[in-house]
Structure 1
Amino acid sequence: MNLSIDMKEKENELLVKVAGEIDAYTAPKLKETLQPSAESDDKDITVDLSEVSYMDSTGLGVFVGLFKTVKARGGQLNLIGLSDRLQRLFDITGLGDIMNINSKVEGGVE
């Protein structure tokens, strides 16, 4: 399955809508697309995962790396729109406790 990534920049925030499956095949594309923005100082990144049907540990690794980079640069990573399955994946690994995750999309990415 393909992965689609739609990015919109507004001021010091990047809004990203991801759709499809995040796995060993598609995770490198996601990382390659998001990493340059994560390396900007004081940039907040909001990623809407409401249309992600599947994610494996490779996808988790992308978000851990993104989280570390954004935080080190003074920004914040927000994950929104997680399905129950994705939320459980983040909770089981303990990432749900350290990352800013909101299962609801509020205003979010269009």
Structure 2
Amino acid sequence: MPDQAAPRYLTLEIERTDGVAVVRCHGQLVSGLTGVLYSNVRPLISDTKRVVLDMSDITAIDSTGLGTLVGLYTSSKTAGCELQLLNIGKRVRELLGLTHLLDVFTVIGEHGIRL
């Protein structure tokens, strides 16, 4: 029996308190799914002072996913909002490092800079 590819999905849970939006991401941040993240997070940027993307349940990321993170980062900087990545996994950390983006993003939580 041939190996079947894992189902592709991306779901978000958004919690807003005191000018901070925490977005818990579940699934894959890959081509064809990144619009879910962008369309849900982009409006939060103008309404909050800080957006935290909890990446602890991201199972895959590709160049389109990285591009979406960069787009959200750029939008947040323009709007005066702080975008932070929480609990990035090994694969996300590797890709951010390879693309020299690890120093651009504020990484918090497990193996990160600060909470």
Alignment TM-score, normalising by the size of structure 2? 0.85
8 Å CA contact 2:46–2:81 kept in 1: the answer is no
Larger Rg: 2
The one of 34, 40, 58 aligned to 1:33: 40
For residues 65-103 of structure 1, the C-alpha deviation after alignment (integer angstroms, 9 at most, x for no partner) is 111111111111110111111101011111101110135
Structure 1: state its 5+ residue gaps: none
Moved over 4 A (4+): none
Residue 47 (str. 1) matches residue 53 (str. 2): yes
| Aligned residue in 1 for 2:79 | 73
Any idea what SS the aligned residue of 1:25 has? coil
Partner of 1:91: 97
The aligned length equals 106
Name the aligned partner's letter for residue 32 of structure 2: Y
- Check 1:103–1:82 CA distance in 2 against 1; reply closer, same or farther (3 A cut): farther
Unaligned stretches of 5+ in structure 2?
Answer: 1-7
Tell me: higher relative CO, structure 1 or 2? Use CA pairs within 8 A at least 6 residues apart: 1
SS of the aligned residue for 1:58 comes to helix
Counterpart of 1:7?
14
3-state SS of 1:67 partner = helix
Aligned-partner Cα distance in 1 for 2:103–2:75? 18
Q: Give TM-score scaled by structure 1 length.
A: 0.88
Cα deviations across residues 27-70 of structure 1 (Å, max 9, x unaligned)? 01111111111233x62000110000000011111110111111
Secondary structure of the equivalent of 2:85? strand
Query: Taking every aligned residue pair, what percent have the same amino acid on both sides?
Result: 25
Paired letter, 1:67: Y
